[in-house]
Amino acid sequence: MVVISLGGSIIAGDEINANYLTTFRHFLQEKSKRVKFYIVVGGGRIARKYIQAGFRMGLDQYILDKIGIMSTRLNASLLLGEYSYPRVAESIEEAYIAGRSYNVVLLGGTEPGHTTDGVSLLLAERIGEKRVINMTSVGGIYDKDPHKYEDAEILHRISFENAEKMFLNRKMNAGLNLPFDLLSLKIAERSGIEIYAIGKDLRNLERVINNEDFEGTVIGSIHGGH
């Protein structure tokens, strides 16, 4: 089983990345013959545009969260196919049950206040998976923002404790890029679920699935390597 948190920034920037989505669909169609995929899709810039519009209209945070959830589900629907559960699951339990019959199950957000990263960790807990693959446009965790600093260095492995410290301190370090929120890290820590933060390259994703050397960051135990 493979649990993926697919960053909305990869597929839904200012425009929908149809070429990438088409390639991902082909990947899922082929690989799901031997691997079960649970994929939680984020909202990206398109979701933020809706949320920003709602904010300007005076909508409350709960409603804004609901709007974000609908955006994530819309993004996830672009990966539906004959190889998958025929709808975007709306809860952890629905995804859990769907996974008994289908090798590809897609989700977006589930509840206000939970990020899609958090959903991916809760889902991993529910199905007993000890690894979540976080795919982002950045491709890992760096000591500073790689888009701003040429000397930014990727952190190949970091403990839960240090990742949490980085999150808590990031307001003091505007250059830091950390893909997971604190709640997600706490969920991962309590169940010993390692987070593999990688980019969008599907060959690199396949290397992670096959337990081969890959480019990215592992959040979890301080022991081991990749």
Residue whose token pair is 């370090």: 173
Per-position b or e across 187-211, b if 16+ CB within 10 A of its CB: bbbeeebbbbbbbbebebbebbbee
Lookup: tokens for 126: 């529910």
pLDDT attached to residue 222: 61
Any idea which residue has 């649990």 for tokens?
3
Length of the chain: 226
The two counts, helices (H) then strands (E), for the chain are 9, 7
Nearest Cα to Cα of residue 129 among 35, 212, 60: 35
Residues 6+ apart with CB under 8 A from 8: 41, 42, 43, 44, 45, 46, 47, 71, 72, 75, 116
Element (H, E) at 27: helix 18-31
Q: What is the pLDDT of residues 102-111, one digit of tens each?
A: 999 999 999 9
Nearest to 76 by CA among 126, 12, 140, 134: 12
165 pLDDT band (50/70/90 cuts)? confident
Query: Residue 182 in contact with residue 170, Cβ under 8 Å?
Result: no
At 170, the pLDDT band (50, 70, 90 cuts) reads low
Q: How far apart are CA 100 and CA 39, in angstroms?
A: 15
- Per-residue pLDDT tens over the stretch 29-45: 999 999 999 999 999 89
Domains and CATH numbers, the chain: 1-129 (3.40.1160.10), 134-186+197-226 (3.40.1160.10)
What strand order describes the sheet that includes 37-41? 104-107, 37-41, 2-6, 131-135, 194-198, 217-220, 157-159
Q: Look at residues 160, 169, 217 and name the one whose alpha carbon lies nearest to residue 188.
A: 160
Give the pLDDT of residue 145.
76
Each residue's pLDDT tens digit, 109-135: 999 988 899 999 999 999 999 999 999
CB contact at 8 A, 110 and 119: yes
CB of 69 within 8 A of CB of 40? no
